[in-house]
Amino acid sequence: MPQPTPQHNDRHWQGRRVWITGGTSGIGWALADALARRGARLALTARSADAIAAAVAGLPGSGHLALPADIADPAALDRALALLRESWGGLDLAILNAGTYVPMRGDAIDLPAAHRLVDVNLKGTISAAAAAIALFLAAGRGHLAVVASVAGYVGLPKALVYGATKAALINFTEALHIDLAGRGIKVQLVCPGFVATPLTDGNDFRMPALLTAEDAAARIVAGLTSRRFEIHFPKRFTLGLKLMRLLPYPVAFRLIHRATGL
Any idea which residues carry the catalytic annotation?
162
Position 19 contacts ligand NAP (CB under 6 A): no
Position 185 contacts ligand NAP (CB under 6 A): no
Q: Tell the smallest beta-carbon distance from residue 202 to ligand NAP (Å).
A: 10
114 vs 139, beta carbon nearer ligand NAP: 114
String marking each residue 49-68 x if it binds ligand NAP according to CB under 6 A: --x-----------------
Tell whether the torsion through CA atoms of 37, 70, 190 and 228 is positive or negative.
negative
Kindly give the residue spans of alpha helices, DSSP state H, lying in the chain.
6-13, 26-37, 49-58, 74-88, 111-117, 125-139, 160-180, 213-224, 235-246, 249-260
Site residue total, ligand NAP (CB under 6 A): 32
Cis amide bond preceding 234, omega within 30: yes
Question: Site residues for ligand NAP, window 115-144 (CB under 6 A)?
Answer: 120, 124
CA separation for the pair 165, 167 (Å, rounded):
6
Q: Which of 114, 71, 81, 95 is nearest to 186 (CA)?
A: 95
Q: Are 222 and 3 in contact (CB under 8 A)?
A: yes
String marking each residue 82-121 x if it binds ligand NAP according to CB under 6 A: ---------------xxxxx------------------x-
Position 188 contacts ligand NAP (CB under 6 A): no
Position 27 contacts ligand NAP (CB under 6 A): yes
Q: Tell the smallest beta-carbon distance from residue 57 to ligand NAP (Å).
A: 15
CA separation for the pair 153, 121 (Å, rounded):
16
Q: Tell the smallest beta-carbon distance from residue 181 to ligand NAP (Å).
A: 24
SS3 content of the chain, % helix, strand, coil (to 5): 50, 15, 30
171 vs 200, beta carbon nearer ligand NAP: 200
CA separation for the pair 4, 18 (Å, rounded):
19
Q: Are 99 and 148 in contact (CB under 8 A)?
A: no
Position 195 contacts ligand NAP (CB under 6 A): yes
How much is the CA Rg of the chain, to the nearest whole Å?
18
- The residue within the footprint of ligand NAP, chosen from 37, 47, 85, 186 (CB under 6 A), is 47
Position 46 contacts ligand NAP (CB under 6 A): yes
Position 223 contacts ligand NAP (CB under 6 A): no
Position 197 contacts ligand NAP (CB under 6 A): yes
Q: How many CB atoms lie within 10 A of CB 114?
A: 17
In the 8-state DSSP scheme, what is residue 120? I
Interface ranges with ligand NAP (CB under 6 A)? 21-28, 45-48, 51, 70-72, 97-101, 120, 124, 147, 149, 192, 194-195, 197-200
